Structure 1
Amino acid sequence: MMVQEGPIQLVCLTASSGVPLFTRGASRQLPFSIIGSLNGVHMFGSGQGVVLSSCETEEGGKVVWRIFQDSVMLIAVSGGHQAGSSKGERVHLQRLLENVWSSMVMVLGQDELANVRNVERLKKDLRSCFGLIDLLLEDQQEGILGQLTHCADCLLPPQPAVLQEAVQGFAKAADSEFGCLLVHGRIVAATEMWWRLAPQEIVLLSALMLSLSDSASASCDYPVFLPQGSPTVAHRLLCFRLLPGADVCVLCGPTPSLHGAESGLVGRFWSPLVDIVRDCLAIRERSLPASVSLRPDVLAFLLINRENHRSICSVLPPLCAHPQGDPALPSKARCWELLKLFYIFCMTRYFKQEEVSPPTEEKEEGSHQGNTEDFVHGLSHQPLQCYLVTDECKSFGLQTSQHQLFLLLPPVVPTFALHTVATQTLSTITTATAF
């Protein structure tokens, strides 16, 4: 049985002196004595020439440390779990720390974090990161898995060519090559240069847009740094709400002004397309056009395009009556969690994940390059399929040269039929959408 994820607490300290900068996460904060101990044991290991990257408590809790730019230490602490998910949860926490650091760079810039001159001022400045960091910690947005996969979460619209043309025209009129249309944090259309950003940057920009959309303002002018492309020079992120849940944004320089773009460009490009944007909002649950018909026994899926680091995912309502006497199907929220857990299960044991994060000076045991099980490295081939049978569902993973597909199906589906269902689902989606 795949276990349930527990609350995660995040601690940020200065790497040199261990001064706490902030804590986020579970409502019950860690006592200062425990925070001091976590920092102290890491410092002791460093003094002995040992890099302490992670540990596990007797009750199953996990702790992961990471130092960035020899300046900031991030510590992630998770609650106790049943045995059996240690490696997968460690991978999850490691990726979380990478995303949190990149989020801090995106909001404040690398210089301010790498060269801490005034700790109290930095504490105050870091408050502007809390909305984005809390979004990463909660990780409860349905249809958003990019924080884990480092692939851009996408929604495939019914009329992609029309929206693509509008995004390109809107960005060009705003003196920018970087434009994007999002629906509830998922990319519907983007310019070619937007897709050329690092995958992690695309994921975090989408998350930032999602956090900004919670504000009452229909538009905003927000300075952002690109953690890999421009960590020390800020760009302007102009965001405009077209409809509740639908936003368009551009990365640009000094021009145009927010008011000028809002009054002169938004209505011109997007007013004629309101109905098409509304159609995109209507398929938020599926991430696919209504014309794409999937098998009724597919509970949920995650499809990753390995070539361009994009993904689509969905939890689907049952299309047929659930027979009496059969095991109850997992709830929608549980399906999202099971989908994430199965992805981690596959990627830490069988499938290959191309590393798209920037190299860091601190190479740790258990980093993503070494997350697969030892016995896989001894095989003469790369596993292409795997499945998992639990009390709640059956899961199947399929890997091709271009795609990775992760499926959840009801327990009553025969195990021998899982491969057929997976190949049919992959063919149906890719043929209809060219994803």
Structure 2
Amino acid sequence: MTALYSLLHLIFCFCSITLIVLSSEEDTSELRLERLLQMVFGAMVLFVGLEELTDIRNVERLKKELRASYHLIDSFLGESELIGDLTQCVDCVIPPEGSFLQEALSGFAEATGTAFVSLVVSGRVVAATESWWRLGTPESVLLPWLVGSLPLQAARDYPVYLPHGSPTVPHRLLTLTLLPGLELCLLCGPRPSLSQLDSQLLERWWQPLLDPLRACLPLGPRALPDGFQLHTDILGLLLLHLELKRCLFTVEPLGDKEPSAEQRRRLLRNFYTLVTTTQFPPESGTPEKAEDVVHPAQLPRACYLVLGPGSGWQLVALQLGMRLLLLLLSPQSPTHGLRSLATHTLHALTPIL
């Protein structure tokens, strides 16, 4: 990060900002670097607003204000357990009693007069109001990521700009810790104040749901509830709903096997980049030439990769409609059964995302 901050210091004098990212990893993809830069710029807008970055009037003041974004930017550069920075989809978890949590969340939002409310565990969204789900990119990814990156605190009142929805007018991000690691987030205007969110209001809506709330705490790394059964060959999975811009990402269905959790995350991230750029290109946009048109029948729906020599771990990707599933599988999983296993897993996961 020091090099990045030094770079910003050098170019502020030209009244514009240019972000440059350098990577020492030989296999780092252009997609990964491009989306990293988008997240970094989004984080800067989140804290200081777009006008401060496009019309720099006081360099020293801007540098001081940008310090608030350093912690969030640092979290993009580390080995995060999240993947929304790459997929541009919101990291989610599936709570065991989601309907009760959703009902309480809607009631709490109505009682506080706030349309944008969510429950966040370890940077992942557990439940949210419809208005929260309609937040655009990148704020839909940045806000829960920010909450998950901050140290534990009973309550917060943050001024934030929305890079897509409101880049020049700040909103307030209120957070309330219901349980250590589980936070209630509100995106609002001048009201309500933190003092209006008193203990009686919280107890009314959340005290009766203490057990379902506790059940959310281990969902951070696993994403799926304990009762959800996955095939024993699955070492990690990434499921994306491309229309809703939500994803499930876990490398802990069976955490006691090789490779390590860090390696699993890296393998799935690299495989996502590969299949996104080569096998399942975005279908949006208008091709410039008639010969560039790709008909749906010509698009692949599944692909796999066997790693070697020595490891034998297998990766398979399957796209059906607006859902894309990536699986990391153990070496003993038969290659001829990869598509069948992926199809069965996707059908099992479809009702919950």
TM-score (norm 2): 0.90
Aligned mates of 1:210, 1:203 — CA distance in 2: 11
| Cross-structure match for 2:271 | 342
1:75 matches 2:75? no
Q: Secondary structure at the match of 1:303?
A: strand
Query: SS of the residue aligned with 1:240?
Result: strand
Per the alignment, in what secondary structure is the counterpart of residue 235 of structure 1?
A: strand
Q: Which residue of 2 aligns with 1:51?
A: none
Partner of 2:230: 294
Shift of 1:211: 2.2
Q: Which amino acid aligns with 1:113?
A: L
Asked if residue 182 in structure 1 is aligned to residue 111 in structure 2, the reply is no
Match in the other structure for 2:4: 10
Paired residue secondary structure (2:100): helix
Which structure 2 residues correspond to residues 102-121 of structure 1 after superposition, within 5 A?
Answer: 102-121=42-61
Q: State the partner residue of 2:41.
A: 101
Whole-angstrom distance in 1 between the partners of 2:40 and 2:314: 33
In structure 2, the CA distance between the partners of 1:193 and 1:378, relative to structure 1 (3 Å rule), is: closer
**Are residues 1:92 and 2:21 paired?**
no
Tell me, yes or no, if the aligned pair for 1:72 and 1:113 is still in contact at 8 Å: yes
Question: Which ranges of structure 1 fall in alignment gaps of 5 or more residues?
Answer: 1-6, 22-42, 44-69, 323-328, 356-367
Cα pair 1:349 1:376 within 8 Å, conserved? no
In the TM superposition, what is the alpha-carbon distance from 1:292 to its structure 2 partner? 1.6
Tell me the CA shift for residue 293 of structure 1. Answer: 0.8
Task: Give 1:19's match in structure 2, choosing from 10, 18, 23.
Answer: 10
- SS of aligned partner of 2:157: strand
Question: Does the CA contact (< 8 Å) of 1:8 and 1:79 recur in 2?
Answer: no
> 1:101-250 alignment to 2 at 5 Å?
101-138=41-78, 140-142=79-81, 144-212=82-150, 214-215=151-152, 217-250=153-186
Change (3 A) 1:221 1:424: same
Q: 1:20 offset after TM fit, Å?
A: 4.7
Alpha-carbon distance between aligned partners in 2 of 1:228 and 1:429, rounded to the nearest angstrom: 30
Counterpart CA distance in 1 for 2:274 and 2:6 is 28
What CA deviation, in whole Å up to 9, does each residue of 1:195-244 have, x standing for no partner? 111132110011111123x14x3101101111111000111111001111
- The 3 A distance-change label for structure 1 pair 268 and 378 is closer
Q: 1:395 to 1:174 in 2, by over 3 A?
A: same
Q: Do 1:11 and 1:20's aligned partners in 2 also have CA atoms closer than 8 Å?
A: no
Aligned counterparts, 1:273-422, within 5 A: 273-318=209-254, 329-353=258-282, 381-391=298-308, 392=311, 393-422=313-342
Residue by residue, what CA displacement relative to the aligned partner does 1:122-175 show, whole Å, maximum 9, x if unpaired? 11111011111111121x232x11111000111011111110011112222222
Amino acid aligned to 1:281:
L
Quote the Cα distance in structure 2 between the aligned partners of 1:146 and 1:263: 33
Query: Which residue pairs with 1:4 in the alignment?
Result: none
Q: For residues 25 and 34 of structure 2, what CA distance do their matches in structure 1 show?
A: 17
Quote the sequence identity (%).
Answer: 43
Matched letter for residue 342 of structure 2: A
Q: What amino acid sits opposite 1:236 in the alignment?
A: R
Structure 2 CA distance for aligned equivalents of residues 313 and 189 of structure 1:
16
* Cα deviation, residue 290, structure 1: 2.1
Q: Secondary structure at the match of 1:284?
A: helix
Q: 1:165 to 1:350 in 2, by over 3 A?
A: same
Work out the CA distance in 1 between the residues paired with 2:237 and 2:195: 41
The structural deviation recorded for 1:377 is 6.5
Is contact 1:201–1:226 with CA below 8 Å preserved after alignment? yes
Contact persistence 2:124–2:145 (CA under 8 A): no
Q: Is the 8 A contact 1:303 1:403 kept in 2?
A: yes
Runs ≥4 in structure 1, deviation > 4 angstroms?
11-14, 375-380
2:199 aligned residue: 263
SS at match of 2:331: coil
Q: Supply the AA of the counterpart residue of 1:334.
A: Q
Pair 1:179–1:91, CA change in 2 (3 A): same
Quick check: which one's helix share is greater?
Answer: 2
Residues of 2 paired with 1:208 and 1:80: CA distance?
26
The structure-2 alpha-carbon separation of the partners of 1:369 and 1:111, relative to structure 1 and needing over 3 Å to count, comes to farther
In structure 1, distance between residues paired with 2:183 and 2:104: 13
- Structure 1 residue 402 displacement after superposition: 2.0
1:178, 1:191 within 8 Å by CA — same for their partners in 2?
A: yes
- 1:73 counterpart SS class: coil
Q: Are the equivalent residues in 2 in contact too, given 1:174–1:252 (CA < 8 A)?
A: no
Deviations 1:327-350 (A, max 9, x none): xx3111111111111111111111
TM-score, normalised with respect to structure 1? 0.74
Tell me: CA distance 1:257–1:354, structure 2 relative to 1, closer, same or farther (3 Å): farther
Give the whole-Å Cα distance in 2 for the aligned partners of 1:421 and 1:12: 49
